[in-house]
Amino acid sequence: MSNPKNNEATIFYMAGYQRLLNTIRRSRFGVIVLVESKSNGTAAKPASQYKQSVNKQSGKRGKAKTKEGTKRQSMLNTHKISPFKYDMNEVLSATAMDPSKASAFLASVIAKASRVSTKDAKDFVKTFLESGDLTKEEYDKISRLMDKYSKYR
């Protein structure tokens, strides 16, 4: 014979579970929402209001910003960086520049030419020409290489 207290506890537990099922339902968006319950009087938002609030939260992703017109600039073609490095190393090995300084110089030229513009990179190279690290011929070779490996974007 079973214990009557266990049966009462089981029935009470099942009644609580049924009440829980009555107060919760799954919306069509896959989110669990509360439905109006007779016991505590709470009501859930209708699905249409829920959908609007979701759209308000993710509104930043949905709106496309208008792009202001920017002038196209000549920049280093990122697909041709390896041959550009090879040719630049040939030019820099023939210069009187210190090898560690030449490596940093090359990295700066590539960064400026690929991210800003080749015009700014040429201005950067010109500062080395004025300081005496490069000659006019080396400056011209580097400028021609930048023009050769650049594209408008």
Q: Which of 101, 114, 100 is nearest to 146 (CA)?
A: 114
25 contact partners, CB below 8 Å, separation of at least 6 = 32, 33, 35
Model pLDDT for residues 98-129, shown as the tens digit of each residue: 999 999 999 999 999 999 999 999 999 999 99
What pLDDT is recorded for position 6?
55
What pLDDT is recorded for position 74?
95
Q: Which of 77, 90, 78, 89 is nearest to 148 (CA)?
A: 77
In contact, 88 and 126? CB cutoff 8 Å: no
Q: Please give the Cα distance from 145 to 85 (Å, whole number).
A: 10
Model pLDDT for residues 31-85, shown as the tens digit of each residue: 555 555 455 555 555 555 555 544 555 555 666 667 677 889 999 999 999 999 9
**Average pLDDT for 15-31:** 60
Q: How long, in residues, is the chain?
A: 153
> CA 100 → CA 13, 15, 85, 93, 96, distances in Å?
77, 79, 15, 11, 12
**Cα angle, residue 107 at apex, residues 101 and 108 outer, rounded to 5°:** 90
Model pLDDT for residues 137-150, shown as the tens digit of each residue: 999 999 999 999 99
At residue 19 the predicted structure's pLDDT band, cuts being 50, 70 and 90, is: low
The residue with tokens 């300084």 is 101
What pLDDT is recorded for position 66?
72
What pLDDT is recorded for position 61?
62
